[in-house]
Structure 1
Amino acid sequence: MCVSRLEAPTEESPFLLDRIVIESHADIQAIQAICDYVYIDVKYQKSFSGTIPTRNTDARKYLSFARSFNQTANTFQRTGNLIKTVMDDIRFGNQFSVSAVKQAVSECVDKVLENPDTMLLLTQIKDQDQYTAQHSMNVCILSILLGRELNFSMEDLNKVGFCGLMHDVGKMKVPLEILNKPGSLEDYEMDIMRKHTLYGRNVLMSARNVYPGAVDVAYDHHEHLAGTGYPRGLNKTTLSIFTKLVAVVDTYDAITSDRVYQRGKPHLMALGILVKGMNLQYEANYVTQFINCIGFYPQGNLVELSSGEIGLIVEQNKVDRLKPKILLIQDGSKNPIEEKILDLSLNLADVSGKRYGVKQVIRPQDCGIDLTKYYQDGKFTKEYAVVG
């Protein structure tokens, strides 16, 4: 059946669209949770058997997180600016404010719990020129998200967020000509780069009121479960829970980010690398829960559809993770179009009459898309036509 209207007011509905195709018992349970009765499109019900609904763009809708996006983004930006200041203080040998860092992490925890989708999306808006600070910010948010998935207490969410934010502070003691070198490092340069874990430990140990577990994470986040990492070759029996967790999200964000010496890899390729390293490099349960947490198609990733169109994932589908909601931004010829929201769970047809599906996850740079500009232009708080 096709639900054409819900009893519940739109603002209380978890559904991005007012038209919902019921395809499973889970769909029914989700609707029952918010209303007692619905309106059914009988014509659609009769015609749906053996056919695919065609495109229509009459309805309009805001993205599910639009109302709280700016407030959440402000928290993200404030914390990002703080970590830049902290890193500058460390580079120049000044004391940094531990209390300010803890307060910023606490705000991030609150926003992750209130609006995890927006925080996840913001981690995908990357700036190569600000890699170290932005990477630390992203690892903080992703660590909190994974901790939330693991049912951590509020206290532990704040601790693991602090660990994630501060895990790479030792890089501020690495000479810039090595840290920002565009090519491969020489052996002696690699030795210096790897000392960032020792430098990070020393920086955090010299600061007052730092959570002691953050010292371990800064020192050990490049260790492997099998004892093949650095700097000490520790194995899983001596690594802390937070170290193992941060190692997973640190690797993910590093793989998916552009750096001066390499291009970032697509999301699914990064997940494949984590899976391959389970039990040898990474805690298997944390990798599995991380995938559950961010999904196969997380917010902020670009996809090419079976139609050749390009879209930005704006909402995951918790019932069917392979059918997210997408903001269409380029046509099949890769030309810009007026943005429209497409819900893959409705099994809609493209202009050729074929059912929509995701062909591949792609990098923004590969199709000339700047996610930072989308953010700055207010694209995440606009009202859009709905394909349906």
Structure 2
Amino acid sequence: MLTTIKVLTKDLEQGMYVSALDRSWLETPFPIQGFQIENQQQIEQLRNFCTYVMVDARKSRQGESSLQSKLGKGRKRQAVSHIFKGRDLAPYRDDSNFEEEHPRAVAALDTLVEDLWQVFEQVNERGKIRAAQLKRAVEPLIGSVSRNPDACLWITRLKHHDEYSYHKALSTAIWAVTLGRELGLPRTDLRSLAMGAMLMDVGKLRIDPKVLKANRKLKPDEVREVRRHVSYGQDILNASGILNQDVVDMVAHHHERYDGSGYPAGLKGDEIPPVARVAGIVDTYGSLTSERPYARAMSPSAAIRTLYELRDIKFQAELVESFIKAIGVYPAGTLVELSSGEVGVVVAESRVRRLKPKVMLLLDDGKRSLAAPRVVDLQSEADNDEPLLIRRSLEPGAYRIDLSAIKVPGL
């Protein structure tokens, strides 16, 4: 198990082994696998790019005890098996490709949206959730993500439902299950993650919609009321007889933060149940990438960078890194400009080389619409003399591109 220490770049020394940065490796010239500091020039480079880095004490020439005494003891990295003690973890494999999985994903999500609407209506009318209905409804979703998550990730980026609450509930469920798949959690746990993610904000049904949709800064008493959605959600679960501890933990603790700055209990670190740490990550990602009354949506890749910068501050680093592995550095639905000047949208990632996803080209190098959009696999392009690369990600709506109107060729 690695011991990492957070070190300000002003305190760096030759011989230290840098294992992580305070920003994405992709924004720097440094090798993403980490490196040993061999000279003063590397230290100056790190100071130009970073405020602090994570140093692997065991790989540093100073020695673990020396670094810890000099800089203070760092947090030990945790294996996933340690984070999720007592669970049978096993890796998943892709059992279908994007094209094969797409129609099954469409059918699964269309059904789930309808069932989710009914579940929320039941809460409004009866104050209870029909748990058995929701449990059945998530099974096709679990199956699709287990086989290949790309299709569901693509669809949820394009779907725009009338109610933000429905769209976010569905999207966070997909992201939670996708992260659970990456972690190797068993199917029963994926089901719990899906249900917990969809019900995290169910308590907001008891809050005045005018407050939730306000496009102004909320008053202190309104902030307190919005925060009560956590306890309202717990009340609804209790009234519904939902005893699944993972679901309860996700509803109760999805706003707790790793540094103790969250609510309602101010839990920190390992005090937060592991599934609630997952919930906090997908809930935040969903908020950052959605249009809200008080904030514009971020691009998926910008939201990923934000989460990365918050690792071991708001969210556990190991889980943030697993989330990035699960959905990609450029998640499905990210608008990108390629090295050719062409513009496209990421359709599916490569789980081998995550900077080489499949991209559907929409605009030519002059930023004119293509008569026939086509999909290119940057993984395959890497073998060409002049391979296509992603130059940068673009903000949602760039060049007036409407993702909801896009259809993947061949589907």
Determine which of 148, 151, 159 is the counterpart of 1:115: 148
Determine which of 341, 356, 364 is the counterpart of 2:375: 341
Determine which of 393, 405, 409 is the counterpart of 1:361: 393
Q: Counterpart in 1 of 2:272?
A: 239
Gaps of 5+ in 2: 1-95
Q: Counterpart in 1 of 2:330?
A: 297
- Aligned-residue identity in percent: 29
**AA partner of residue 228 (structure 2):** K
**AA partner of residue 320 (structure 1):** R
* SS, match of residue 158 in structure 2: coil
Determine which of 203, 212, 224 is the counterpart of 2:257: 224
Matched, 1:105 2:105: no
Rounded Cα–Cα distance in structure 2 between residues aligned with 1:214 and 1:274: 23
* SS, match of residue 124 in structure 1: helix
Displacement of 1:347 after TM fit?
Answer: 4.1
Please list the CA deviations of residues 93-125 of structure 1 after superposition, one character each: whole Å capped at 9, or x if unmatched: 443311010111222111111231101112212
Please list the CA deviations of residues 253-287 of structure 1 after superposition, one character each: whole Å capped at 9, or x if unmatched: 11111112211112222122212222222111110
On the 8 A contact 1:323/1:344 being kept in 2, the answer is yes
Q: Measured at CA, do residues 128 and 162 of structure 1 come closer, stay the same or move farther in structure 2, by a change above 3 Å? A: closer
Displacement of 1:126 after TM fit?
Answer: 4.6
What does 1:124-273 align with in structure 2 at a 5 Å threshold? 124-127=157-160, 129-273=162-306
Rounded Cα–Cα distance in structure 1 between residues aligned with 2:209 and 2:283: 21
Displacement of 1:183 after TM fit?
Answer: 2.5
Rounded Cα–Cα distance in structure 2 between residues aligned with 1:155 and 1:71: 20
User: Which has the higher mean CA deviation after the structures are superposed, 240-249 or 85-94?
Assistant: 85-94
Please list the CA deviations of residues 186-245 of structure 1 after superposition, one character each: whole Å capped at 9, or x if unmatched: 222211111111111111111124423312211211011222111121222432111011
* SS, match of residue 271 in structure 2: coil
Displacement of 1:355 after TM fit?
Answer: 4.9
**AA partner of residue 158 (structure 1):** R
Q: Counterpart in 1 of 2:341?
A: 308
Question: If the length of structure 1 is used for normalisation, what is the TM-score?
Answer: 0.75
Displacement of 1:298 after TM fit?
Answer: 2.3
Displacement of 1:74 after TM fit?
Answer: 1.4
Rounded Cα–Cα distance in structure 2 between residues aligned with 1:218 and 1:203: 10
Displacement of 1:84 after TM fit?
Answer: 2.2
Equivalenced residue count is 315
On the 8 A contact 1:69/1:381 being kept in 2, the answer is no
* SS, match of residue 328 in structure 1: strand
Q: Counterpart in 2 of 1:382?
A: 410
**AA partner of residue 363 (structure 1):** E
Gaps of 5+ in 1: 1-62, 384-388
Matched, 1:321 2:354: yes
Rounded Cα–Cα distance in structure 1 between residues aligned with 2:404 and 2:102: 14
Rounded Cα–Cα distance in structure 2 between residues aligned with 1:348 and 1:163: 40
Rounded Cα–Cα distance in structure 2 between residues aligned with 1:144 and 1:97: 21
Displacement of 1:349 after TM fit?
Answer: 11
* SS, match of residue 380 in structure 1: coil
Rounded Cα–Cα distance in structure 1 between residues aligned with 2:171 and 2:292: 15
Does 1 or 2 have the higher relative contact order (CA < 8 Å, sep 6+)?
A: 1
Displacement of 1:247 after TM fit?
Answer: 0.8
On the 8 A contact 1:67/1:381 being kept in 2, the answer is no
Q: Measured at CA, do residues 71 and 202 of structure 1 come closer, stay the same or move farther in structure 2, by a change above 3 Å? A: same
Rounded Cα–Cα distance in structure 1 between residues aligned with 2:103 and 2:243: 30
Rounded Cα–Cα distance in structure 1 between residues aligned with 2:409 and 2:106: 11
Displacement of 1:373 after TM fit?
Answer: 2.1
**AA partner of residue 67 (structure 1):** E
On the 8 A contact 1:297/1:313 being kept in 2, the answer is yes
Displacement of 1:174 after TM fit?
Answer: 1.1
On the 8 A contact 2:172/2:282 being kept in 1, the answer is yes
Q: Counterpart in 1 of 2:23?
A: none
Displacement of 1:64 after TM fit?
Answer: 4.7
Q: Counterpart in 2 of 1:373?
A: 405
On the 8 A contact 1:128/1:258 being kept in 2, the answer is no
Q: Counterpart in 1 of 2:109?
A: 76
**AA partner of residue 309 (structure 1):** E
Question: If the length of structure 2 is used for normalisation, what is the TM-score?
Answer: 0.71
Rounded Cα–Cα distance in structure 1 between residues aligned with 2:368 and 2:163: 29
Rounded Cα–Cα distance in structure 2 between residues aligned with 1:282 and 1:184: 25
User: Which has the higher mean CA deviation after the structures are superposed, 68-77 or 91-100?
Assistant: 91-100
Cα RMSD of the aligned pairs, angstroms, is: 2.3
Q: Measured at CA, do residues 203 and 101 of structure 1 come closer, stay the same or move farther in structure 2, by a change above 3 Å? A: same
Please list the CA deviations of residues 48-94 of structure 1 after superposition, one character each: whole Å capped at 9, or x if unmatched: xxxxxxxxxxxxxxx95223312211111211222222223223444
Rounded Cα–Cα distance in structure 2 between residues aligned with 1:112 and 1:309: 30
